[in-house]
């Protein structure tokens, strides 16, 4: 049985690798066919990574909370607190303290959420919504109180603080860049990704990777993680086994807030170098969406954030009409492939619907040269919706997620 | 393994308004099976939770091996060598067997391969046959229970508390469980065992303690005690029995299933080619080990599932493709298997719960509007006729005990003169008094011509109440018995496929 | 007053969702779409005079309902969480509306808007307190919706089905409620009400739609908070809407007093949180008191029997 | 284009100058962001400040909230009027409707709206509409960019894709092409219609990153608060950028300063100051005033010394041509 399991995991891994290869090849093919070189250029991918990271941080934050059974829609607010924390502490004490400050502010937001939901049993959504309102007011107030008289500051903004250093891996970066420029089928696409990952990468981006991997390890490979997850699956059971559920929930929600706060720091220290009230622009919500999209798994959250970051990055590129047009082709191809899979598993109707959509996209692709800018701006949202609609039915959230829990109710 | 001796003395526990335990004395000898019996609400679970540190006692002392101890949390109890399997399983479905077991005891063998080896070792020793990496959601009840016991053993417990472990098991599984328990005792463990089922208690226990209204009222020796004596100790009166007196079966078919097949996720048939008829005035009992298709059978009749083949007719009308509401509209009452999830809206008052499932029929509604007055009056009627113990119809369903909730549901489903009642485990977890009341009502309605499709895990109930028994095994009806002639063990054998019938 | 009516409408839209167990965070997008549709339709003046008002309201309701249905359909057929789909739809709505107005609207100063309402279909308002700004005529819509909401939920079968489906989907299923259908209907209903959110302002003073100047965004999110504050009850919602509108209206006054206007936001959030915490504490007390009462009465009953 | 028609319509009615009572007391109603936004509102404040220094007028301020409604703006204006402020300036287009609603009730208060317009047919004699020829200023910085570009590629980042910002884009492109017909300009907008495009530095940076990556070496932004992200991108790419509204070289951080070769000036301060002084002189301005290159209402900055003397000479030449009417700068791309 155990070997069986391992064998299955192994085939699963192979399938995943094969699929990944197929995806890369398709992208390369679309690039060559449509001539939209920027589809996998290092610049585009780099923009995608930068756009993805704050969302990823929020998403992983959401993951922490929800794995412990607390829905944290206050991510947006905690992220806002993080933007202020990063700016304030970075201004006065340098970028590293700024990071801590952002995490600390987010953590405070998380603490508030934990007090409300865990100790007082308030509905998670209500508490989250309230935290978002409070946070926006609070950072507006804090900015007005603390930034107005600073040099480079104003009542709603601050700049002129030191940010985090960038890292370029010598050699690899240049090599990858030059290969990427040569437009070789598949090779250049991969090189583009390598270049994006080795050129002018912020220290915080590296930290994000560490944090994501660390989260996956901590939550799935350690006793601590097991206990934390058990609080999201069946807190009563955890309680009967001596787990202090309140404590784990508190820790989880506070860490969640801290992650969101770091997401805010990413916005004020990497994605830009200034603070503005309300600059998160809903990225906390998007992070939540990425987490649900990612089926409450770190790898899924990464995928969701990257997809979002990629489309968002593209929507900001100049002259992106043709680029988005080539995405139409790409999606149509994936849809057709998916339709075939569905057809094979006897879901004829679904397959038909998907195929029909794919054909429509192909027609659109064939009849235009460029997608109008109003639509390119919507790309991230439309594509997320689309992907969810096509593949979103298999999601499973932690069993006790969002449910109230009271100590002593076991048995 | 050395066993521990546990002694509870003068335990008292008050909840606001209720005295759940008072002056409870209990002595558990090392290396024995000790049974604790008592009717619903007698205070058994509360006592066990105190012993396991989930709740703390207001009075009294606990001593282990002669030393007085206080348990502030389960952790303390676990350390003292006590483990507990709760009445409602405490498992996380989405975690693996291994994860469920090592949770909270990660220090013992980590959460990796060492733990896996240890689990396999214990599982092997007691013949549990559990594989550590399977998700718990994939397991049946019996296996889940083994996981629960494994959890306790993994922590090195020497006293294992089992709160109503047999309620959800079929006889063969009960036997297997008892075999496991005996091995455990042979290994030096003690077992504290709670049950409502007296024959089981007599069969397994070395010592019996009876609780009534929050206190221990006596002990008995299973070698000499009889069921009758125990019952009298428990309730102060005789046990009712579900015997059906005279047959009221007619030849008018109410419900007929012809070649019904239901496919579950992934296309596997969970019900194949089932044909069955229920007549007016007839109770047809469905016996089967849980997960063999009886839930699907109920759901497909109620329109909660669709069949991929076959037809269902109700009094001659084809209802195969009708919705649940349409089926109910045609006079079908439904006592669902899980009253909390399907039978009631726990936070609604009783009178609003009266409307549930009857949103289309008088007296709870008038046209498209709710008739609050009608619903209230009828809820009051149910409370009186079915002896639902509640201060009033504005009390939320949640505040009622399980037995009273169930009586209310049965009363509701029998109102409006249904022609067919689909009853799934109508008396599960209900105390003997309420059980008898529910049986009486079903019998009375049957005399009036009600057809009943009864699914139950309680074989005595099935045999006593049914006019005909069908055995469902792996989605097929495999045997048919006359309840007047069949014994529980025959039935059990048929249910597990152990006999050719 | 005028603000309260819009907040209340938005809150009712959210509350319908909440009562059904749906978190319609998409009220925001739905009322944008509806406002845009209404702006184009009302401005075109296809229907003469005051009838145009009615027709425009219908258009808004239908537009909001249809837009909300997208999330409903995705949830029912594809299992997509309404929360994410609505978040996405909010962004899409804003972008789409902006695009449409710029493409098909008329220029107005530096921005584009829809054609202003013809004078014949401008129900202005009525002065309640002398000197204070007029109360918009369509604030009555909020009252009507409030009454309808109450009646629907507590007096009709449909409302009962909806509440049960929200409270316990499993019990609803067993009682014969088609939960997916309920999801679709309540989502559409929620969107339909959302469609009305901006109508009081549209007919009351703005008379054209254009983003961002000739529109008020954010009502959807605030309405959510109001619904939560009002515990989804009619009276609570009206109270919450008035409170929030009052707080927002204090912003100018506070500034003149030298108090930062952000304090208003903070206060709003804290009020919500404090009220729900208080409510939760009271609820627990009551639940405890109730089971105590049940136990006590049963105990005396039992004693009487024994 | 509409502005002109409105202006002519307004001119048909002859207005008496508003007679205010007593000394001028000035109230500034800011748009969202308020004083300290390092842009529009700040610039208005600078004009006010100058007037305060010079004339010693008394003043008050008030600021808009996010997503506030029309009534809140009106209430703000009324509040000032009731408190005895007789010179009220709405900073930003958003005040057009509210001033139009409030002004008739206070005939002896002089109103002004920066970027404003009169939304209806009734002429408001006590309101001044202070507009700017952003396209003309943008033309000059476009020309400057084209003259100093090494790659021959320029970029434009707009905050929100609306008519106002397109005016900047149109002028910029026209100027660049006038100076060097071979130059290419790529444009991108952070948001299509969501106003958050003006407060999203991360978006600004990503957008500018894309432009620099595709070969642009000078990027002009009209993206409000998001512009700081554009400068960040310039710093990282080692390229140049052009600021907007005020001389952003003066307010930017030390790291960003070297990238800002010039800024397109929209002299909200001049307009504000001018309006206040017209009140002080007893003849409050009314009707439409468009501040153009001719009256230094728009322009370009030279701080930092990045513009070469040749460039400056060329710009002055263009400026003269525009003022003379020899060049007409388009308003829409
Ligand atoms: N947490 C609690 N709060 C208030 N009262 C409680 C609580 N738990 C139990 N009770 C009360 O204590 C009494 C004893 O309950 P307990 O669960 O111990 O009974 P039991 O003997 O296990 O019954 P059953 O056979 O139904 O499991 C109940 O009648 C109930 O009224
Ligand atoms: N956590 C609790 N808080 C308050 N009262 C409780 C609690 N748990 C149980 N009770 C009370 O205990 C009584 C019996 O509950 P319990 O669930 O033990 O009933 P039951 O007959 O054992 O039903 P079931 O078989 O479904 O467990 C009820 O009256 C209920 O009010
Ligand atoms: Mg019980
Ligand atoms: Mg019990």
Q: Give B6-235's CATH code, choosing from 1.20.1250.20, 3.40.50.300, 1.10.357.10, 3.40.50.150.
A: 3.40.50.300
The model carries a pTM of 0.87
- Give the pair of three-digit tokens for residue D277: 């002084």
Q: CA-to-CA distance for B404 and B386, rounded, in angstroms?
A: 9
Which residue stretches of B15-96 are H helix?
A: 44-51, 74-79
CA distances from C165 to B87, B341, B408, C162, D307 (A): 29, 12, 21, 5, 69
The span from the CA of A275 to the CA of A154, in Å, is 10
Q: How far is the CA of A247 from the centre of ligand 1 (A)?
A: 27
C126: part of which helix (H) or strand (E)? strand C125-126
Does ligand 2 have an atom closer than 6 angstroms to the CB of B363? no
A387 with A293: CB under 8 angstroms? yes
Cβ–Cβ < 8 Å for C225, A133: yes
pLDDT of residue B196: 72
Per DSSP bridges, beta strands B369-370 and B365-366 are: antiparallel
CA D242 to CA D147: how far, in whole Å? Answer: 13
Domain coverage including residue A251: 38-308
Instruction: Please report residues of A whose CB lies closer than 8 A to that of D46.
Output: none
pLDDT computed for residue C194 by the predictor: 94
**Chains with 3 or more CB pairs under 8 A to chain A:** B, C, D
Scanning B244-323, the segments in alpha helix (DSSP H) are: 294-302
Torsion angle, CA of C217/C219/C224/C227, rounded to 10 degrees? 180
Nearest to D203 among A44, A156, A316 (CB): A316
Pocket lining: B433 vs ligand 2, CB cutoff 6 Å? no
- Residue A409 — very low, low, confident or very high, per pLDDT cuts 50/70/90? low
Measured in angstroms, how far is the CA atom of residue A24 from the centroid of ligand 3? 57
Q: For tokens 């007053």, what's the residue?
A: C1
Contacts of B325 (CB under 8 A, 6+ apart): B303, B359, B360, C176, C177, C178
The band of B235, judged by pLDDT with boundaries at 50, 70 and 90, is: low
Task: Check if the beta carbon of residue D61 is closer than 8 Å to that of residue D79.
Answer: no
A241–B104 C-beta distance less than 8 A: yes
Q: Do D67 and C217 touch (CB under 8 A)?
A: yes
D79 — contact with chain C (CB < 8 Å)? yes
**Cβ–Cβ contact B294 with A under 8 A:** no
CB-CB neighbors (< 8 A) of A127 in chain C:
273, 276
- Report the candidate in C206, C47, C58, C3 with the shortest Cα–Cα distance to residue C124: C206
Residue B475 has pLDDT above 90, yes or no: no
Q: A360 vs chain D: nearest CA distance in angstroms?
A: 25
**pLDDT digit string (tens) for C5-47?**
889 999 999 999 999 988 888 999 999 999 999 999 988 878 8
User: Cα(B441) to centroid of ligand 3, in Å?
Assistant: 23
B486: contact with C, CB 8 A cutoff: no
pLDDT tens, position by position, A5-23: 566 667 777 877 887 788 7
Contact C249 D75 (CB under 8 A): yes
The answer, for A349 touching chain B at a CB cutoff of 8 Å, is: no
Quote the CA–CA distance of B386 and B389 in Å, as a whole number. Answer: 9
Question: Which of A247-256, B448-457, D15-24 is least confident?
Answer: D15-24
Cα distances (angstroms) measured from residue B259 to each of A220, B263, B309, B475, C155: 47, 13, 7, 12, 43
Interface of A with B in 216-275 (CB under 8 A): 221-223, 226-227, 229-230, 233-234, 236-243
Average pLDDT over residues A373-389: 82
Within a domain: A381? no
pLDDT at C30: 95
Atom of ligand 1 nearest to the CA of B196: 25
Instruction: Measure CA B318 to chain center.
Output: 33
Mean pLDDT of C69-81: 89
Q: Under an 8 A CB cutoff, do D37 and A166 touch?
A: no
Exposure letters A213-223 (e unless 16+ CB within 10 A, then b): eebbeebeeee
How far does the centroid of ligand 2 lie from the alpha carbon of residue B402, in Å? 7
pLDDT tens for chain D, 333 residues long, are: 344 444 444 445 567 777 777 788 999 998 877 777 777 888 899 899 999 999 888 888 888 877 777 778 888 898 899 888 989 999 988 888 888 888 888 988 999 999 888 877 778 888 999 999 999 999 999 999 999 999 999 999 999 888 889 999 999 999 999 999 999 999 999 988 888 888 889 999 999 998 998 889 999 999 988 898 999 999 989 999 999 988 889 888 888 899 999 999 999 999 999 999 888 888 888 788 889 999 888 999 999 899 999 999 999 999 999 999 999 999 887
Largest CA distance in chain A: 68
Q: Per residue in B75-98, pLDDT tens?
A: 889 888 899 998 778 899 889 999
Ligand 1, pocket residues at CB < 6 Å: B 15, 18, 20, 38, 40-46, 87; C 295
**Within an 8 Å CB–CB cutoff, is residue D158 touching chain A?**
no
Quote the tokens at residue A46.
Answer: 């780099």
Number of domains in chain A: 1
Q: How confident is the model at residue C116 (pLDDT cuts 50, 70, 90)?
A: confident
CA–CA distance, B83 with B122 (Å, rounded to integer): 15
Tell me the mean pLDDT in the region C119-124.
Answer: 69
Contacts of residue A16, defined as CB under 8 A and 6 or more positions apart, other chains included, come to none
What CATH number should be reported for the domain holding residue A184?
Answer: 1.10.3470
In ligand 1, the atom with minimum distance to the C-alpha of B19 is 12
Whole-angstrom Cα distance, residue B404 to residue B396? 12
Instruction: Flag whether A394 is in a domain.
Output: no
Give the fold, CATH level 3, of B241-331+419-501: Rossmann fold (3.40.50)
What's the pLDDT at B168? 67
Element (H, E) at B27: strand B18-28
pLDDT on residue C21? 86
User: Rounded to whole angstroms, how far apart are CA atoms D120 and A406?
Assistant: 61
Q: Which residues are CB-neighbours of C20 under 8 A, at least 6 positions away?
A: C162, C163, C165, C166, C182, C183, C186, C187
Average pLDDT across chain A, whole number: 86
The partner residue sitting opposite C175, judged by closest CB among B359, B368, B369, is B359
Q: Report domain extents, chain C.
A: 2-216
- Burial class from Cβ neighbours inside 10 Å (0-12, 13-18, 19+) for residue B67 reads exposed
Q: Which of C14, C81, C220, C279 has the most A C-beta neighbours within 10 Å, making it the best mutation to test the interface with A?
A: C81
Residue D10: predicted pLDDT = 46
Ligand 2 atom with the smallest distance to the CA of B87 is 27
Query: Which two structure tokens, joined as six digits, stand for D47?
Result: 């004009």
Taking the domains of chain B in order of start, what are their residue ranges?
A: 6-235, 241-331+419-501, 338-417
Please give the span between the terminal C-alpha atoms of chain A, in angstroms, as a whole number: 32
Cβ neighbours around B32 below 10 Å, total: 17
pLDDT, mean of residues B363-372: 85
Q: Where does residue A200 rank: exposed (0-12), middle (13-18), buried (19+ CB within 10 A)? A: middle
CB neighbour list of residue A149: distance below 8 Å, 6 or more residues apart:
none
CA of B91, closest CA in chain A: separation in Å?
6
Query: How far apart, in Å, are the Cα atoms of C18 and each of B205, B237, B396, C11, C63?
Result: 52, 50, 21, 10, 21
- Residue in D40, D58, D43, D7 with CA at minimum distance from that of residue D273: D43
Q: What is the DSSP string of D211-276?
A: HHHTT-SEEEEE-GGGHHHHHHHHHHHT-EEEEEES-HHHHS-TTTGGGEEEEEEE-HHHHHHHHH
């Amino acid at each position: 049985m155990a070997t069986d399991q391992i064998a299955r995991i192994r085939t699963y891994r192979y399938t995943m690798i094969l699929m990944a290869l197929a995806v890369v090849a398709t992208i390369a093919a679309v690039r060559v066919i449509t001539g939209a070189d920027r589809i996998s250029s290092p610049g585009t991918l780099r923009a995608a990574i930068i756009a993805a990271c704050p969302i990823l941080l929020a998403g992983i934050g959401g993951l922490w909370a929800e794995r412990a059974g607390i829905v944290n829609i206050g991510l947006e607010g905690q992220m806002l607190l993080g933007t202020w924390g990063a700016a304030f502490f970075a201004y006065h004490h340098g970028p590293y303290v700024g990071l801590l400050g952002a995490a600390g502010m987010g953590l405070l937001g998380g603490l508030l959420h934990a007090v409300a939901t865990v100790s007082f049993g308030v509905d998670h959504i209500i508490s989250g919504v309230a935290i978002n309102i409070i946070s926006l007011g609070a950072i507006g107030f804090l900015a007005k109180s603390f930034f107005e008289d600073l040099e480079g500051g104003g009542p709603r903004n601050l700049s002129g603080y030191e940010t985090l250093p960038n890292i370029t891996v010598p050699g690899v970066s240049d090599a990858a860049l030059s290969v990427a420029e040569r437009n070789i089928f598949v090779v250049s696409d991969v090189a583009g990704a390598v270049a994006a990952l080795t050129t002018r990468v912020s220290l915080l981006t590296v930290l994000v990777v560490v944090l994501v991997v660390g989260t996956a390890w901590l939550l799935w490979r350690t006793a601590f993680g097991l206990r934390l997850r058990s609080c999201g699956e069946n807190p009563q059971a955890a309680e009967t086994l001596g787990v202090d559920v309140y404590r784990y929930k508190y820790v989880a929600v506070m860490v969640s807030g801290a992650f969101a706060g770091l997401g805010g720091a990413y916005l004020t220290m990497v994605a830009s170098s200034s603070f503005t009230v309300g600059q998160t622009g809903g990225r906390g919500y998007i992070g939540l969406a990425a987490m649900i999209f990612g089926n409450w798994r770190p790898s899924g959250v990464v995928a969701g954030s990257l997809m979002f970051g990629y489309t968002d990055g593209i929507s900001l590129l100049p002259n992106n009409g043709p680029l988005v047009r080539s995405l139409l082709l790409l999606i149509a191809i994936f849809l057709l492939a998916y339709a075939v899979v569905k057809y094979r598993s006897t879901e004829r109707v679904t397959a038909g619907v998907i195929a029909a959509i794919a054909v429509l996209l192909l027609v659109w692709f064939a009849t235009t040269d460029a997608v109008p800018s109003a639509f390119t701006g919507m790309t991230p949202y439309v594509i997320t919706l689309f992907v969810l609609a096509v593949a979103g039915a298999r999601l499973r959230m932690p069993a006790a997620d969002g449910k109230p829990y009271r100590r002593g109710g076991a048995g | 393994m050395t066993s521990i001796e546990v002694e509870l003395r003068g335990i008292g526990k008050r909840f606001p308004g209720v005295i759940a335990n008072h002056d409870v004395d209990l002595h558990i000898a090392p290396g024995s099976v000790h049974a604790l019996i008592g009717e619903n609400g007698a205070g058994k679970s509360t006592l066990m939770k105190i012993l396991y540190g989930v709740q703390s006692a207001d009075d009294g002392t606990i001593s282990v091996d002669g030393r007085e101890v206080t348990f502030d949390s389960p952790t303390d109890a676990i350390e003292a060598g006590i483990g507990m399997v709760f009445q409602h399983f405490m498992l996380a479905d989405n975690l693996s067997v291994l994860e469920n077991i090592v949770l909270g005891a990660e220090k013992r063998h980590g959460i990796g391969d060492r733990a896996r080896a240890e689990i396999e070792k214990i599982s092997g020793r007691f013949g549990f046959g559990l594989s550590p990496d399977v998700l718990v959601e994939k397991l049946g009840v019996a296996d889940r229970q083994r996981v629960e016991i494994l959890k306790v053993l993994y922590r090195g417990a020497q006293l294992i508390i089992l709160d109503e472990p047999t309620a959800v098991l079929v006889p063969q599984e009960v036997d297997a469980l008892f075999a496991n328990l005996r091995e455990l005792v042979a290994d030096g463990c003690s077992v504290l065992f709670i049950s409502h089922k007296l024959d089981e208690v007599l069969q397994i226990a070395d010592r019996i303690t009876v609780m009534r209204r929050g206190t221990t009222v006596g002990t008995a020796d299973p070698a000499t005690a009889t069921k009758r004596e125990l019952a009298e100790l428990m309730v102060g009166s005789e046990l009712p029995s579900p015997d059906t007196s005279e047959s009221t079966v007619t030849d008018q078919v109410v419900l007929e299933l012809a070649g019904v097949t239901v496919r579950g996720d992934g296309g596997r048939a969970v019900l194949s080619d089932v044909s069955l008829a229920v007549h007016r005035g007839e109770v047809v009992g469905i016996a089967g080990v849980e997960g063999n298709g009886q839930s699907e059978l109920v759901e497909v009749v109620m329109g909660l599932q669709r069949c991929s083949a076959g037809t269902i007719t109700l009094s001659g009308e084809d209802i195969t493709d009708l919705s649940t509401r349409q089926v109910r509209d045609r006079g079908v009452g439904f006592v669902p298997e899980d009253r909390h999830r399907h039978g009631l809206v726990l936070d609604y008052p009783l009178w609003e719960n009266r409307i549930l499932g009857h949103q289309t029929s008088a007296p709870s509604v008038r046209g498209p509007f709710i008739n609050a007055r009608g619903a209230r009056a009828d809820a009051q009627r149910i409370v009186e006729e079915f002896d639902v113990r509640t201060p009033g119809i504005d009390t939320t369903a949640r505040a009622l005990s399980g037995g009273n909730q169930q009586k209310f549901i049965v009363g509701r489903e029998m109102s409006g003169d249904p022609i067919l009642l689909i009853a799934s485990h109508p008396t599960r977890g209900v105390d003997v008094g309420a059980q008898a009341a529910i049986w009486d009502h079903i019998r009375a309605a049957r005399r009036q011509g009600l057809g009943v499709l009864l699914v139950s895990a309680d074989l005595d109930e099935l045999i006593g109440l049914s006019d005909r028994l069908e055995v469902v095994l792996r989605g097929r009806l495999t045997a048919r018995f006359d309840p007047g002639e069949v014994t529980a063990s025959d039935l059990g054998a048929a249910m597990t496929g152990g006999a050719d019938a | 007053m005028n603000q309260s009516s819009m907040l209340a409408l938005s809150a009712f839209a959210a509350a319908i969702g909440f009562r059904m167990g749906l978190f319609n965070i998409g009220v925001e997008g739905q009322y944008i779409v509806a406002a845009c549709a209404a702006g184009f339709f009302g401005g075109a003046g296809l229907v003469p005079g005051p009838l145009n008002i009615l027709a425009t309201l219908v258009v808004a309701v239908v537009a909001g309902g249809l837009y909300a249905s997208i999330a409903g359909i995705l949830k029912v057929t594809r299992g997509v969480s309404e929360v994410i789909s609505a978040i996405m739809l909010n962004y899409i709505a804003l972008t789409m509306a902006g695009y449409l107005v710029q493409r098909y609207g008329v220029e107005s100063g530096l921005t584009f808007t829809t054609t202003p309402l013809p004078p014949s279909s401008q129900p202005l308002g009525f002065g309640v307190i002398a000197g204070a700004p007029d109360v918009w005529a369509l604030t009555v819509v909020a009252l009507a919706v409030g009454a309808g909401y109450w009646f629907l939920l507590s007096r009709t079968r449909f409302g009962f089905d909806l509440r049960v489906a929200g409270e316990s989907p499993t019990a609803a299923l067993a009682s014969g409620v088609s939960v997916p259908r309920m999801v679709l209907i309540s989502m559409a209903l929620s969107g339909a009400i959302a469609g009305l959110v901006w109508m009081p302002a549209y007919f009351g003073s703005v008379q054209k739609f254009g983003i961002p100047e000739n529109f008020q965004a954010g009502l959807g999110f605030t309405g959510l908070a109001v619904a939560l504050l009002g515990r989804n009850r009619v009276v609570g919602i009206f109270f919450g809407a008035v409170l929030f509108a009052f707080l927002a209206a204090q912003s100018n006054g506070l500034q003149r007093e030298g108090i930062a206007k952000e304090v208003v936001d903070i206060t709003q959030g804290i009020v919500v949180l404090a009220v729900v915490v208080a409510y939760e504490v009271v609820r627990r007390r009551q639940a405890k008191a109730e089971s105590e009462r049940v136990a006590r009465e049963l105990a005396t009953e039992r004693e009487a029997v024994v | 284009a509409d502005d002109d028609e409105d202006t002519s319509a307004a001119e048909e009615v002859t207005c008496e100058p508003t007679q205010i009572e007593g000394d001028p007391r000035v109230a500034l109603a800011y748009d969202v962001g308020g004083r300290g936004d390092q842009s529009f509102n700040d610039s208005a404040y600078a004009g006010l400040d100058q007037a305060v220094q010079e004339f010693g007028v008394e003043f008050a301020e008030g600021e808009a909230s996010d997503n506030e409604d029309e009534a809140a703006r009106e209430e703000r204006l009324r509040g000032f009027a009731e408190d005895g402020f007789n010179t009220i300036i709405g900073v930003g287009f958003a005040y057009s409707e509210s001033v139009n609603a409030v002004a008739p009730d206070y005939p002896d208060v002089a109103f002004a709206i920066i970027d404003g317009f009169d939304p209806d047919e009734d002429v408001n004699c006590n309101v001044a509409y202070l507009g700017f020829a952003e396209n003309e200023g943008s033309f000059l910085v476009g020309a400057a960019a084209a003259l100093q570009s090494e790659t021959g590629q320029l970029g434009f980042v707009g905050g929100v894709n609306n008519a106002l910002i397109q005016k900047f884009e149109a002028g910029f492109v026209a100027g660049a092409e006038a100076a060097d017909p071979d130059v290419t300009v790529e444009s991108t907008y952070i948001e299509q219609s969501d106003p958050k495009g003006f407060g999203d530095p991360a978006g600004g940076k990503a957008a500018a990153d894309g432009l620099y990556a595709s070969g642009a070496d000078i990027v002009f932004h009209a993206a409000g608060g998001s512009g700081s992200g554009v400068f960040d991108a310039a710093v990282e790419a080692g390229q140049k950028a052009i600021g907007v509204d005020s001389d952003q070289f003066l307010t930017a951080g030390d790291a960003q300063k070297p990238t800002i070769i010039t800024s397109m000036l929209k002299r909200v301060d001049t307009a504000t100051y001018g309006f206040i002084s017209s009140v002080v002189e007893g003849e409050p301005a009314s009707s439409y005033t468009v501040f153009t290159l001719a009256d230094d209402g728009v322009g370009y900055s030279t701080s930092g010394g990045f513009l070469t003397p040749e460039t400056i000479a060329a710009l002055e030449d263009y400026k003269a041509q525009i003022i003379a009417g020899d060049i007409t700068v388009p308003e829409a791309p």
